[in-house]
Each structure stands twice: as structure tokens, then as C-alpha cells.
Amino acid sequence: MRPSVYITRRIPDSTLEKISEVCQVEMWEEEDIPVPRAVLEEKIENIDGLFCLLTETIDEALLQKAKQLKVISNMAVGYNNIDVTAATEKGIFVTNTPGVLTETTADLTFALLMATARRIVEASDFLREGSWKTWSPMLLTGQDIYGATLGIIGMGRIGESLAKRAKGFDMRILYHNRSRKEEAEKTWGIEYADLDSLLRESDFVCVMTPYTEETRNLIGERELSLMKNSAILINTARGGIVNEAALYEALKQNKIWAAGIDVFEQEPVSPDHPLLTLPNVVTLPHIGSASIQTRTRMAELAAANLIQGVMGEPPRNRVNQDVVQARKIDV
């Protein structure tokens, strides 16, 4: 009997075919609506593998309903939507998709930085609304990027790729990380700084750190008050790292110049969220890895993790290394 799996969102046909070759598959067919909790509670009871997204909360209560689940394959790098501790206690592999979205997310981060600095969205709206009457010396003036100081909080793969792009703009690059990255310092000419110094000195601050209990509200009222009033904050990491209420007040009171946000604490964000009312904020719907090629590669990697897990093999990209044994399945 083939292992059974449940997929929580429509994935590329080529990826679905690969999974279907070895597994009995059920899939939530709605493109833009997350699978309802009640459906997930029903399906998880008798499946061997779960292919999910950040939109699904896989908590202890849900995992208690799983009778034979062996692997949770998250189609994302982050996995704060999953109670990894509870999964580990039940001997369930948790996997993610690292590496494949590094360059695409770095592209989007720098694009968001540029769009915010040069007021691209605001300028486009200005033109489309018929407000452009004449050329004016200070009309829609923004901030220079070339030669500016970039502060990167979290020097992982994406942080390094962002630094590589910034070097092409001759930027001075500061970074803050849990540990020094001496090889990256040599390669990219970047400088380590404590968090407060980075915030004080940077013209652009990019949040690239993972979401953890330690990084929740890492950037709040105090941290924003350290930044230059001409500085720009970019967050393409995870919602909840930047305190949104504090950011709103800092932007509204012109304590910082602008912000570019791809992630929110609650997603999808409400259309009446205060940050969406400000002209000096560029907001995006969590599209950091949204290129056709990258999303396809993410799905393929998540599928490979899923198949390894349901077949009783420790998946290559497991995040809970303590789970090293899985029950073999008769196939």
C-alpha cells in the first residue's frame, strides 16, 4: 500500500506527478484560500506525510490528532508555523527548503530598497493620477543609494547575497549577526557592528534574520529611535521581528524617512492596517521568493523531502536533527 500524503495548496503539475508516482495524494485545490483548519484536522489523522506552507499552523493540538504522520514538508525556508518541539516528541520529521530562494529573495530585497529610496510606487501613482503638471527641481526627490551605508541584520545566505549586490553600488556595508562571519568580511569587505551602532550609522537597515523568540520585536521603539531621520528600514525576513505599531509611529512622526515591507505579523494583512495608510511605506504581499523558477524549485525540494520522509528515510533538509529514525513503510 502506497503512503498517503496531503498537500495544502495547488502545486506545479510536474511536482504533483513526482509525488503521485510513489504516494496516494489528496490536495486542497483552492489557489488563493488556505486550507480550513477543520479540513486539516480531519486529513492529518490518517496521512503519512504533510506538504504545507507558511499559511498553515501546525501546532501541538493538530499534531495530537496525527496517528501515523512521519514527515511535515514545509515549502519555505522558515518554519515558525510549525511546533517543531511537538513534532520531534512524536518522531515526526520537519523539513524546509533552504538555498533555492537565496538569490531571488536578495533580488527582491534590493528592489524594495531601491523602490523605497527613490519613491518609485509613489511617483507612478502621482503620474497615473494626473498630478504631474511640470518638471520641478525637488519633485518626488528620494535618497541616494550609491555610496550609502547599508546595515544588514542577520548575515545568512540571503544577507550575504544582499551584500554582494550592494557592493555594486559601492555601499559601505555593516552587519550584525549572532556570530562573526570572518570569511564574508574578507570576501565582501563588510564590517561587523553591534546592533545599536548599526542602527545609528546606516542609511538603509535591512532585516534578514530568522524569526525566533529572541528576534520577536527585535526592532521596536527604542531601536527605531536610534536610526537617522533620513534612514530607510526594509524587512523581507518575517513579520513580528519589527514591531509594526512602533514602526507606524516612527514613520508618521518622521523619525525615520521610509520603510519597505514584504512581511507582516498577520498575513494576509488587513487592507485597513495603519502602515498601508502612509505614503512613505512600500508594501508587498510576501513575494520575496516569487519567481516562477524559484517557486518551482521550492516545490520540487519540498516534494523530495516529503518522499524521503514517508519512505522512512531521514530527509536531507530536516530541521529537527534529533529525529533520525522513521518507521519503514511497506510498499
Q: What are the residue ranges spanned by the domains of the chain?
A: 4-98+292-327, 101-283
> Looking up cell 499552523, which residue turns up?
57
Say which CATH topology domain 4-98+292-327 has. Rossmann fold (3.40.50)
Does 101-283 match 4-98+292-327 at the fold level?
yes
Identify the pLDDT of residue 204.
Answer: 98
Residue 303 pLDDT more than 50? yes
Identify the pLDDT of residue 286.
Answer: 95
Map 248-293 to HEC letters: HHHHHCCCCCEEEECCCCCCCCCCCCHHHHCCCEEECCCCCCCCHH
Active site residues: 238, 267, 286
Q: What is the mean pLDDT of residues 284-292?
A: 96
Q: What is the mean pLDDT of residues 274-293?
A: 96
Say which CATH topology domain 101-283 has. Rossmann fold (3.40.50)
What is the tens place of the pLDDT at every residue in 97-113? Answer: 998 999 999 999 999 99
Residue 275 pLDDT more than 90? yes
Residue 73 β-bridge partners: 51, 95
What is the spatial distance between Cα 133 and Cα 126, in angstroms, rounded to a whole number? 10
> Looking up cell 543609494, which residue turns up?
145
32 or 328, which is more confident = 32
Q: What is the mean pLDDT of residues 77-83?
A: 92
Q: Is 63 helix (H, G, I), strand (E, B) or coil?
A: helix
What is the tens place of the pLDDT at every residue in 306-329? Answer: 999 999 999 999 999 888 644 443
Q: What is the mean pLDDT of residues 228-253?
A: 97
